[in-house]
Structure 1
Amino acid sequence: MTDLLETSRWTGRIFSGGWIPGENGEIPSVEPATGAVLGHVGAASAADVHRATARAAQAQRAWAALPYQDRAAVLRRAGRLFEDHREEIETWLVRESGAVRAFAGVQTIEGGAEECHAAAALAAAPYGEVLRSHQDRFSFSRRLPVGVVGVISPFNAPVVLALRAVAPALALGNAVVLKPDPRTAVCGGVVLARIFEEAGLPEGLLHVLPGGADAGAAVVEAPQTRVIAFTGSTRAGKAIALAAARRLKRVHLELGGNSALIVLDDADLDLAASAGAFGTFHHAGQICMASGRHLVHASVAERYAELLAEHADKLAVGDPRGPVAVGPIIDAGQRDGIHRIVTDSIGAGARLLAGGTYEDLFYRPTVLADVPLSAPAYAGEVFGPVAPVVAFADLDEAARLAAGTEYGLSLGILTRDVAKGMALAERIPSGLAHINDQTVNDEATAPFGGVAESGTGARHGGTAANLEAFTEQQWVTVRGRPPRYPF
């Protein structure tokens, strides 16, 4: 089997009607664990983006006119290619994004292959409904592709967070312009370009344009991009929403989170601490759904915090190519922000039970107890391996604390009483809710999205969400002959 990511094909290039140089030069791909430069990708300019969106609009019409099974066949081939090249793709994810092998595998198969297979099925989904009419005519609605979809994706899960928009948008007859985060431009950009190139996607339908803020702004501004799918920070998402609103464009925003994991007094504390450790420390906490706040019944809070600290102390941290549980933070700026949050929270009165130190970009899993509600580790999104533990007295206080945030992405509730957990979940605004599980969960077939400062609701996953996200609804009526009007 030939190498999917053989470097001579894409080094110093962007993918736009083939592999071509980008006007803004090159971007180095840097391994966060070692600082080694793994390669160079092309850097797209705003002009590159505008040319790409114009080409995409031209190519999209013929793609949309194809029988649905032809589009589905391309998506199925793409899914198989993720499976066939699993080891190669995972290696790039490990080295470029800092993911441990297990997280890289989830992205490649559950995020790559499964997203493509689910999108292939989406191409065959019913796309309209017959409507009642009081007039003598056949009335129905149908969904048509929007045209060109702009996708701006982040560094932390670069395959799945790009593909969950790219794959369904293509399956439904759209063209796509993708701007991946420049820090993961190979595993989050080149991988997708090469997969669909090998899968036989017609030229001009997918453009992969790594670049800076100017390229991202151009994706939003280009007149051909009618829908923008963005995953990233709340601050950046708001700026994109404002720019899109001025152009009357739809935006699908999956933004930050400060998700609560609630541990009730009847929970199995050993299982709860294990779930809590995974929810906060997996991928060094660089997951939007991470368990950012551990709300624990006062009767068991101290013991839970001790068990969580034991888990944290046992976790191996280091180069993700080795047998470790936690890899590096993506860059020094992100690491320094995490450490500042930890030290400021300790200064505010939080008690350090584990971690709080780092070496290079490797930050130790950290547990903070007795955290004041005003401390930054509790009040905002950390995006790092930090678990603040706060006690509550009763269910009313638990609900009030969990809902007392600007975010609303994910929620976990651990209890032996499932009915109690379900009732509690109904009181807490959240796009996702998991009873007897931690907060990090995602499937290609399930609707995904947050509310409030976490985004614009479920805009990814599942048939209904994807149809709503990447199509326009059109009303059509048909008469046997024109009526006679009194004019």
Structure 2
Amino acid sequence: MLDDATPPPLPGPSALRTGAGPLPLVVGGRAVLDGSVVEVASPASPTGGRDVVHADAAVVAEAASTADGARAACAAMSRRERAQILRRTAAYLESHIEDLAVSLVLEVGKSLRDSRGEVQRCVATLEAAADAVAELGGREVPVDAVPVGAGRLAFTTWEPVGVVAAIAGFNFPLLLAVHKVAGAIGAGCPVLLKPSERTPFTTLVLAEAVVTSGWPPAAISILNGGPDVATALCEDPHVRLVSFTGSSAIGAKIAERAGRHLKRVVLELGSNAATIVAHDADLSLAARSCATGGTASTGQSCISVQRVIAHRSIADDLARRIGEEVAALTTGDPLDPDTVIGNLISPAEVRRVAGLVDDAVAHGAEVVTGGVDGGKLRPTVLLGVTAPARLCREEVFGPVIAVLPYDDLDEAVDLANSTPYGLMAGVFTASIDTALRLARGVESGGVHINDTSNFRADNMPYGGVKSSGIGKEGPASAIREMSVEKVITFRLPA
């Protein structure tokens, strides 16, 4: 597909705001404008959508083959070189925060405040990945501790797994991509990145960022497109690992397709996150934290506070406090710097989330604040949601917080564990005994004491259990997931 003609330049941050012409895909570090052009609607732009070029099966195959050809060059890079590339990429993004933040608003509909925060988290993630490059080291294996190993020395090393296919979700287009690309660069792996078809624009800047920072051009491709691109990546023989962030239903399909070819997978999937509030908790802190944790990024986060499981003695008071906090948050134009809660990504998502609220009310829930008014959804707090409600089982992915009462800690644990998910959880209590009991009892990838499920430090291990995923993200964890441990033994002289 690629020829000797001068390719168009890789899109930089300024290109994301001009709106001129279709934005390209990237194959082996080169911008490509050949292919089908698709218009993507914007949840925040008054001028409508933007055009982007989509990849087809042939383009995916070429990108994968090109990446495979870059494996040796990537693996040969020293840890210092990889760390320097990551730090330079971080500096690149930091120097363009405002352009990138506006682009994220136009793509996702979240507030400008949240979008700026996303770019700042990208910078921190890349810097943490640079630090983590040196953390992955081998170890001596005491093979002479068993009879057959007598007279031998053994140690392990870590090597890149090979070509990584990274498939990102729409809710944090840049941050989710950065976590995967940073892990791949840190491990020394070429990476094929597929952004969500809903949010393909801001991620394109990563190609220019990493190439200008010293990453081999052949080792980065950004392949816009739909499910057919994801399928082709899972089945391409050059791809050794698939890293996916998205819904549990799609994650299961990714795992099935990759598993047919015995590819490794890292899956960061959905949730129905619970935060347990004990009777002795600081209610002001819990209310403020739950309100923020349930509405940040317009609730479009897999660890957004969805269920607040509160002791019956304080449930009504807590729900009222959360409602007051949520009602005080400014909603409106996501490009307005004063807006705290922006838009959901599409009208279809508004209808879906509103349907979950209506269903909960039909099953006896009380609307403390917000609700559905004239077909429009306002940030919502519900009290007394009962088990038959879909909200108790499904992921809302919107600004809805449900307060459920409990009578004893066993019931609180049972309620927290009653969904198929287990990503992150929160606990508010003044008792270390209660904190430890709940931390051990709740089935999730992490439990945050005196904080909500929505807390995430980008350098910590991050991943869930049950239907919430397989493997861990976070820079150090991602680098390990994208590496292979090799054992080397020596027979020593007699």
TM-score range, shorter chain: over 0.9
Letter in 2 for 1:288: C
Q: Distance in 2 between matches of 1:137 and 1:11?
A: 61
Q: Deviations over 1:211-236 (max 9, x none)?
A: 01101111111111111000000000
Which position in structure 2 is the counterpart of 1:400?
414
Counterpart residue identity of residue 73, structure 2: A
Match of 2:371, SS state, is: coil
| Matched pairs, number | 475
- For 1:88, the equivalent position in structure 2 comes to 99
Kindly indicate whether residue 175 of structure 2 is the aligned counterpart of residue 160 of structure 1.
Answer: yes
Assess if the C-alpha contact under 8 Å between 1:5 and 1:194 holds in 2: no
Cα deviation digits, residues 154-206 of structure 1 (max 9, x gap): 1101111111111111121100000001221112x212122113223221111
Which amino acid letter does the alignment assign opposite residue 334 of structure 2? Answer: P
1:476 aligns with 2:485: no
Paired residues of 2:125 and 2:475 also in contact (CA < 8 A): no
Range moving further from structure 2, 342-351 or 444-453 = 342-351
Equivalent-residue separation in structure 1 for 2:346 and 2:416 (angstroms): 30
Counterpart residue number, 1:296: 310
Which of 241, 262, 285 aligns to 1:227? It is: 241
> Which of 109, 112, 117 is matched with 1:106 structurally?
117
Q: Name 2:405's counterpart in structure 1.
A: 391
Q: Distance in 2 between matches of 1:123 and 1:477?
A: 25
Q: Which residue in the other structure is 2:4 paired with?
A: none
The 1:126/1:288 distance shift into structure 2, 3 A limit, reads closer
User: Which of 7, 17, 20 does residue 32 from structure 2 map onto?
Assistant: 20
Match of 2:256 in 1: 242
Corresponding letter in the other structure for 1:85: H
Structure 2 contact 447–453 (Cα < 8 Å) conserved: yes
Instruction: Check the 8 A contact 1:10/1:190 in 2, yes or no.
Output: no
Paired position in structure 2 for 1:66: 77
* Range with bigger deviation, 227-236 or 92-101: 92-101
- Stretches of structure 1 that go unaligned for 5 or more consecutive residues are none
Offset of residue 477 of structure 1: 1.8
CA contact (8 A) 1:414 1:436 kept: yes
1:4 counterpart residue number: 13
On the 8 A contact 1:29/1:186 being kept in 2, the answer is no
Structure 1 residue 297 displacement after superposition: 0.7
Cα offset for 1:264? 0.9
Aligned to 1:41: 52
Instruction: Give the direction of change, closer, same or farther, for the CA distance of 1:126–1:377 in structure 2 (3 Å limit).
Output: closer
Distance 2:200 2:469 in 1: 24
Note if contact 1:22-1:45 (Cα within 8 Å) is conserved in structure 2: no
Conserved? CA contact 1:254–1:450, under 8 Å: yes
- Give the drift of 1:359: 7.8
Tell me, yes or no, if the aligned pair for 2:110 and 2:344 is still in contact at 8 Å. no
* Pair 352,415 (structure 1): closer, same or farther in 2 beyond 3 Å: same
Cα distance, 1:83–1:363 mapped onto 2, change above 3 Å: same
Establish whether residue 57 from structure 1 lines up as the match of residue 68 from structure 2.
yes
| 1:371/1:214 CA distance change after superposition, 3 Å | same
Q: TM-score, normalised by structure 1?
A: 0.93
Contact in 1 for aligned 2:133/2:479 (Cα 8 Å): no
Deviations along 1:371-390, one digit per CA (max 9) or x if unpaired, are 11110122211111111111
TM-score, normalised via structure 2 length: 0.92
Partner of 1:147: 162
Residue 16 of structure 1: how far off its partner (Å): 0.7
| Paired position in structure 1 for 2:130 | 120
Alignment partner of 1:338 is 2:347: no
Please report how far the alpha carbon of residue 29 of structure 1 lies from its aligned counterpart in structure 2 after TM superposition. Answer: 4.1
Q: What residue identity is the alignment partner of 1:460?
A: E
The equivalent residue for 2:321 is 307
The letter of the residue matching 1:138 is: L
Percent identity between the two aligned chains: 34
Offset, 1:358: 6.0
Question: Residues 399 and 126 (structure 1 numbering): CA distance in 2 closer, same or farther, change over 3 Å?
Answer: closer
Check the 8 A contact 2:357/2:372 in 1, yes or no. Answer: no
Q: Secondary structure at the match of 1:106?
A: helix
Seen in structure 2, the aligned counterparts of structure 1 residues 418 and 100 have a Cα distance that, compared at 3 Å, is: farther
Which residue of structure 2 aligns with residue 170 of structure 1?
185
Distance 1:352 1:444, change over 3 A: closer
Q: Please, what is the CA RMSD of the aligned residues?
A: 2.0
| Cα distance in structure 1, aligned partners of 2:199 and 2:240 | 26
Greater shift, 392-401 or 147-156, is seen at 392-401
Unaligned runs of 5+ in 2: 1-10, 144-148
2:474 counterpart letter in structure 1: G
- Partner-residue secondary structure (3-state), 1:439: coil
Counterpart check, 1:192 vs 2:201: no
